[in-house]
């Protein structure tokens, strides 16, 4: 029998993984994102921040260690997809890992675009491991000032 020191963080991490797995197929998760096609499997999903700034919607995707050529952004049928492949450049047959916390492999994040955004005016920039997508609102969706006249 091996006596092992109790590590509550390992158990919490395992619990979080199980909860994420259970809710991955839940309708709650699909409210804002669309799961990839059933034939495709992805090993990880990069974190994404979605915010509004200056009348635009910004998506900030953390993709450290990737080259611009490894990232693919597509818009089709009102769906914005961000896909790619993060390769482990250090992986070799004679390498022994003691701990691996970085994520490697294929990834995909898909978002349903609201009708108020213009899919033809999406700008993408990649700098310091962060992909920033700027999605402009359609002209008719922008707020308009209405002058009040004395009758």
Q: Is residue 15 domain-resident?
A: no
pLDDT score for 37: 46
Q: Is residue 71 domain-resident?
A: yes
pLDDT score for 130: 97
Q: Is residue 14 domain-resident?
A: no
> How many structural domains is the chain composed of?
1
What is the CATH number for 119? 2.60.40.790
Q: Is 33 helix (H, G, I), strand (E, B) or coil?
A: strand
Q: Which of 131, 146, 147 lies closest to 58, judged by CA? A: 131
Q: Is residue 109 domain-resident?
A: yes
Q: Is residue 64 domain-resident?
A: yes
What's 43-87 look like in SS3?
CECCCEEEEEECCEEEEEEECCCCCHHHEEEEEECCEEEEEEEEC
pLDDT score for 68: 92
pLDDT score for 42: 67
Look-up: residue for tokens 């998506």? 59
pLDDT score for 99: 83
Q: Is residue 23 domain-resident?
A: no
Q: Is residue 80 domain-resident?
A: yes
Secondary structure element (H or E) that encloses residue 18, with its range: helix 8-24
pLDDT score for 25: 55
Provide the residue range defining the domain that includes 123. Answer: 33-90+101-141
Provide block-wise average pLDDT over 10 residues at a time, the chain (151 residues). Answer: 65 73 55 45 85 91 93 93 86 78 88 90 95 89 79 78
Q: Is residue 120 domain-resident?
A: yes
């Amino acid at each position: 029998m091996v006596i092992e020191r109790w590590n509550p963080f390992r158990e919490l991490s395992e619990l979080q993984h199980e909860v994420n797995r259970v809710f991955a197929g839940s309708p709650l998760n699909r409210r804002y994102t669309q799961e990839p096609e059933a034939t495709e499997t992805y090993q990880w999903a990069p974190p994404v921040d979605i915010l509004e700034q200056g009348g635009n919607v910004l998506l900030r995707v953390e993709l450290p260690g990737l080259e611009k050529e490894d990232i693919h952004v597509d818009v089709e049928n009102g769906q914005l997809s961000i896909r790619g492949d993060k390769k482990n450049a250090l992986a070799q047959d004679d390498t022994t890992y003691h701990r691996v916390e970085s994520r490697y492999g294929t990834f995909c994040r898909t978002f349903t675009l609201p009708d108020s955004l213009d899919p033809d005016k999406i700008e993408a920039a990649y700098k310091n491991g962060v992909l920033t997508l700027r999605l402009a609102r359609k002209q008719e969706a922008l707020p308009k000032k209405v002058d009040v006249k004395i009758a």
